[in-house]
Structure 1
Amino acid sequence: MAEEAVTAVPITNERNAETCMVRQERAVRTRQALVDAAASEFDRSGYDGTSLNRVCRAAGITMGALTFHFAAKDELADAVQSQGQQITRQALDSLPDDEAPALHRAVDLTLELARLLEAEPAVRSAARLSRERPDRDLEWSATWLGTVQGLFEQAYGEGQLHSAVRPASLAELSLYLMIGTECRARADHESAGSGRELSAVEQLRQIWDIVQYGIGGPPGTGA
C-alpha cells in the first residue's frame, strides 16, 4: 500500500499541472478575445460611447469573466492601447534597414503606419484613445514620432531638405497626417470603402509626393 501511495503522487501532480496549464491557456484566450472585441468597440464608438455589455456580447464572454480580467473600463482601454502600441513597434522594427535616403525612409515609415491604421482595429483604437484619454501615458504617437523626427533631422543634415524646412515641423505634419489617415481608415472600414478609388495608404503616398516638391533640397542631394 505504501508503494502504491508513493507512485500515485507524481501522477496526481502531473494531472494538476496539466489542469493548471489548460486553465491558464483558456484565461489567455479569454483575455485576448476581450481585448480584440474592445478594440473594435473603442475604434467604432470611442471611450465614452463604448459599453462593456457590448464588448461582452461581441466577445461571447460573460460580464463576470470580463471583470475577472479587467476591473474597470479604464483597464480594458489601457490593454487595447498597449496592444496597439505593441503592434506598431513590431511593424516598425520589421521595416528594412536599407540605405535609402533618410527622407524616403521617414515617408515609408508613415506609409507603414497608414497600413496599420487601415488593417488593425487595435492601432486605430490606440490612436483614438490617445486623444480621448491623454492623461494615461499611453500615447500612440510616442511609439513612432521620435523616430520620424530623427529621420527628418538626418535628412536635413544631409541636405535633403530645403534650408528653410525644420525637421520638427515635418514631424508635426506627420502627426496631423496620421490623424487624418486614422479618420479616413475608420470611415472606410465602417462603410466598406464607399467606392473610393484610392486606399488611405495610396492617398497618403500622393500627399507626400506633393509635399516633397516643396521641402526638397537642391538637385543631387539624394532627396
Structure 2
Amino acid sequence: MAQQQRAMRTRSLLVHAASTQFDRSGYEGTTLNQINRLAGISMGALTFHFPTKQALAEAVQQQGRALVREAVAGVVARPRPALATGIALTLALARLLEDNVEVRAAARLARECPPSVAPWSADWLPVVRELFHQAQNECGLRRDSDPDALAALAAHLVAGAEIQVRGGGVALMTGNHSGPGEELAQIWRVVLRGLIVKNIGEYDEDLA
C-alpha cells in the first residue's frame, strides 16, 4: 500500500511538473530533462511512469480536461436560466485557466498537437452552444439574436482569457488590474445590456 501511494505521488508530481513546463514552453520547447529536474525526480523514475514525452502530454491532457469537464458539470447542475448558465460556464473556464496550470497546459497542448488531440473547446463549447439555443427557446434572447454566433463569441472570449493569462493580451483600462475572469465578466455585462436581454438582474450574481 505504501509503495502504491509513493507511485501515485510520483506520478502526480510528474504530471504537475510536466503541466508547468508545457504551459511555459509548449510541447516542442519541453524536454524530459526539464520535467524531471522540475519535479525533483530521477529520469529513471520518470521513464518508468511515462516512457515518452507524448505519454506525459497525454496524461496532462487527461488531467486538465477532466478538470474542465468537472467544472462544466458543476455549472450546468445549478438551476438557473440557460443564458445565465452559458455565461457562468465561460466565466468558470476563464478562472480555471487563470488558476490551474493543468488546464492551461491542456489547452495549449490541444492547440499544438493536432490532429491527434481533439480541440480543447470540444469539452465545453457544444454545451455552451446548446445552452444558448435553449436560451432562445426560453425567450432569453432577443428574436434577432443568433445562438451560434453567440457561442462563437463565447469561444473567442475564452480564447482571449487564455491569451490574457499568458500575458499576451491587452488589459482593459479599468485601473484596478482585474484578472481575465473579472474582465470577461465586464465584457458580458456590456453584451447583456446592449445586445441580448432587457433585464439582467438575474445575472448579477454570476457576474459579481
TM-aligned CA deviation for residue 217 of structure 1: 4.6
Question: What is the TM-score with the length of structure 1 in the denominator?
Answer: 0.80
Q: Whose helix proportion is higher, 1 or 2?
A: 1
Q: Give yes or no for contact 1:102–1:152 (8 Å, CA) kept in 2.
A: yes
Pick from 85, 101, 120: which aligns with 2:65?
85
Aligned residues: 196
* Equivalent position of 2:15 in the other structure: 35
1:182 paired residue among 150, 153, 162: 162
Task: Tell me whether 1:205 sits opposite 2:151 in the alignment.
Answer: no
SS of structure 2 residue aligned to 1:100: coil
| Structure with greater Cα Rg | 1
Superposed CA offset, 1:20-56 (max 9, x none)? x222221111111100000011111111111211110
Q: After alignment, is 123-132 or 166-175 more displaced? A: 166-175
State the partner residue of 1:74: 54
Matched, 1:161 2:141: yes
Q: Separation in 2 of the partners of 1:68 and 1:125?
A: 22
Residue type of the partner of 2:81?
A: P
Aligned to 2:45: 65
- Which structure 2 segments of 5+ residues have no match? 169-174, 204-208
Q: Which 4+ stretches in 1 moved above 3 angstroms? A: 96-99, 217-220
Q: What's the secondary structure of 1:47's corresponding residue? A: coil
Alpha-carbon RMSD across the aligned residues, in angstroms, is: 2.2
Say whether residues 1:137 and 2:117 are aligned partners: yes
1:214–1:62 CA distance, 2 compared to 1 (3 A): same
Contact preservation (8 Å) 1:84, 1:140: no
Q: Which runs of 5+ in 1 are unaligned?
A: 1-20, 189-194
- Please tell me the residue identity of whatever aligns with 1:134: P
Shift of 1:196: 6.0
